Structure 1
C-alpha cells in the first residue's frame, strides 16, 4: 500500500515539475518580449534623430544632436516603461555609457558568439541576477555597425568629424569599427517584483 502511495506521489510530482518550469519560462519570456519591444522603440527613436540630422545638416549636426538627445531619449523610454534603458560598448564614445561588470562580460560573450558565426540580428542575452537584496532582470542586445555608422565610428573618419567628436567627447574610444562589427549593445534592466 505504501509503495503505491509513493508511486502516485512521484508520478504527480514529476507531472507538475514541467508545469512549474514552464511558468518560470513564461515570466522570463514576457520580460524578454517586453525588453525586445523597448529596444525596438529606443533604437527607432535614436535612428530617427540621427537620420533626420544627417539629412538636414550632415554628420556634424548628427553628432551634435546625438550628444544632446540620446540621454533624454533613453530617459523618456525608461520613465514610460519602468525599465532602466541605455547603451554601452567595449569602446564607448560617452563615458556615461561605460559598461559595468555584467555588461562587460555580456559584451565579450557577444564578440565570442559573433566569432562563432551567430547572427547579430537574433543575438541577445537575458538573466535574472541578485544585486544586493534585489532580483534584477537584465537584458542586452548587440548593435551592429551599419554603413552610416562608419561615418563617425569607422577607421577613416574625416578630420572635421574627428575634431567635432573630440570637442563633444574628449575621451572617445568608439572608432575603428567596420560594417558588421558589434558597435555596442542596448542594455536594459528592471527590478523584479
Structure 2
C-alpha cells in the first residue's frame, strides 16, 4: 500500500472497517477505475480509427456518462471523471477533488509518473463514513486528437459546438489530463 494512503488510514482508525477491508475497498475502487477507463477506450479507439476524431468526440459525449452509470450500478460506488481543466461543466471538481488534483500536479512536478498517481481515503461525513478514490488520467498520444495543442479544424468546431466552455485543450503527452473519481458511502 502507498505510504501516504497507509498514513491516512492509520489516522482514521476510529472509523469502521478493518485494514484488510480498507485494502479490499481500495482494490475494488482501483479495478472500477481501470474498468471504466478500459471501457471508454474500447469504445473510443475504433470510432477514432474508423471514422475520425469527430466521431470519437460524439461517442464520448453520448457514452461516457452511461458507462460511468453502469459501473456505479454494478459496484455501489459513485463513478466519474474530473479535471482541473474540464471539457464538460458537469465534471467540475468539488473541493476534495480539486485538492487531490492539485496534489497530483505537485507530485507530477516532483517527478512522479502521472500513471502512478492515486489517492484513497476514508472520511467521516455527515451521517456516516465515505470512501474516496482518485486515479490520475495521463495524456497519451491518442488523447491528443481531441485534447492536444493542435487540433484539426473540424475537431475544434465540434468541440466548440458541444462544449462552448471547453478548457480541456492544449495538453501535451504526459500531462495530467484529469482523474477518475469514485465515492462510496458506508452508512
TM-score (norm 1): 0.86
Deviation at 1:130, TM superposition (A): 2.5
1:108 aligns with 2:102: yes
Pick one of 159, 166, 170 that aligns with 1:165: 159
Residue aligning to 2:141: 147
Q: Contact 2:136–2:179 at 8 Å: present in 1 too?
A: yes
Q: Which runs of 4+ in 1 moved over 3 A?
A: none
Question: For the aligned residues, what is the CA RMSD?
Answer: 1.5
> Which deviates the most, 58-67 or 130-139?
130-139
1:52 aligns with 2:42: no
TM-score (norm 2): 0.89
Alignment gaps of 5+ in structure 1: 1-19
Residue aligning to 1:73: 67
Write the distance in 2 (CA, Å) between the matches of 1:45 and 1:82. 18
Residue aligning to 1:85: 79
Q: Deviations over 1:84-128 (max 9, x none)?
A: 000000000011100000000000000001111112222210111
Write the distance in 2 (CA, Å) between the matches of 1:60 and 1:160. 7
Write the distance in 2 (CA, Å) between the matches of 1:43 and 1:148. 13
Deviation at 1:170, TM superposition (A): 1.1
Pick one of 28, 34, 47 that aligns with 1:34: 28
Give the greater-gyration-radius structure (CA): 1
Write the distance in 1 (CA, Å) between the matches of 2:123 and 2:167. 29
1:176 aligns with 2:152: no
Q: Report the count of equivalent residues.
A: 173
